Amino acid sequence: MSKLTLKRNALSCTDPLYAAHALGHDYGVEKLAKDLFQQPGVMYNKLNPDNDSNHLYLRDAIHLTALADDDRIVSAWCHSRGGVFIKLPEAVNCDEELSDQLLLISEQMGIALAEIRDSRADGVITPDEFERIGRELTNTVREVLSLKAVVSSQVRELHAEQILSRNLVHTTKVSDPLIGSETLTKERIA
């Protein structure tokens, strides 16, 4: 690749440098250079994964991500480190979002399992099929982790009366035949 061309090749979405390359292509290298107060040639070089003269530094990647409002670089970086990038929900205030997220997990799991089934139909999983399976399983993990964010937004502190009431309910269960009435009474008082 020459210094001033930014060709769109088959890009690896697991390599942050190639993700930056794609971001530059989609957003516009000239516009990025102008918005980041850099010379276009320098920006082309920084976004070219095969160029060794100018480097894309962390500060640059942060600015590119914020400016383009594009998470490809951080997502690729997370993937290259064995993780996934999860965008947290902005505000979750009701059980409907929780239900929707549970349905999304079920739907995505179905897609992933269908991909596995289809890939195994001939008795052999090819590297391309494995890549598709991996992509769907990663999407499934992403949805499960999003569920954690939805649930965490519903965490609330209990008042002292609510804590006492909960403790009383939990200690007065008589489902265990080994607990005598004397023990049950002591637990209620405590």
Radius of gyration of the chain (CA): 26
pTM value? Answer: 0.55
pLDDT tens over the chain, length 190 residues: 444 444 444 444 788 999 999 999 899 999 988 988 889 999 999 999 998 888 898 998 999 999 999 999 999 999 888 888 877 666 555 677 888 888 999 999 999 999 999 999 999 999 999 999 998 998 898 888 888 878 877 777 877 776 676 666 665 555 555 555 444 444 444 4
Task: For residue 137, give both structure tokens.
Answer: 């399983």
Query: Do 43 and 25 form a contact (C-beta atoms < 8 A)?
Result: no
Please choose, from the candidates 85, 40, 45, the residue with its C-alpha nearest in 3D space to the C-alpha of residue 65.
85
Query: Do 76 and 18 form a contact (C-beta atoms < 8 A)?
Result: yes
Under 8 Å CB-to-CB from 126, ≥6 apart: which residues? 119
CA-to-CA distance for 64 and 76, rounded, in angstroms? Answer: 14
CA-to-CA distance for 137 and 114, rounded, in angstroms? Answer: 11
